[in-house]
Amino acid sequence: MAKRIIGTTPKEDGFRMPGEFEAQDQIFMIWPERPDNWRDGAKPVQIAFTNVAKAISRFTPVTMLVSQSQYQNAR
């Protein structure tokens, strides 16, 4: 893969990190699944992520990014 180095900063390109208090159009979450990162096969944290996503979705659309192998678990 070729790398391209540009001479500008993200701020100069119009990017910024919004404050937590600012309105958001959408939330992206990544489904936890790696057993080397999460205890008990990630099951407890998957329940927590589900609860968080449900709570957020009452106010803001949520897109959960999920691997193909975990798709049925995330539903």
**What digits encode the pLDDT tens for the residues 5-15?**
778 998 999 99
Q: pLDDT tens digit string along 19-75?
A: 989 988 999 999 999 988 999 989 999 999 999 999 999 999 999 999 999 999 888
Residue 7 lies in a domain: no
Whether residue 57 lies inside any domain: the answer is yes
**Residue 74 CB contacts under 8 Å (≥ 6 apart), including other chains:** 31, 46, 64, 66
Answer whether residue 9 is part of any domain.
Answer: no
Domain that holds residue 40: 35-74
Total number of domains constituting the chain = 1
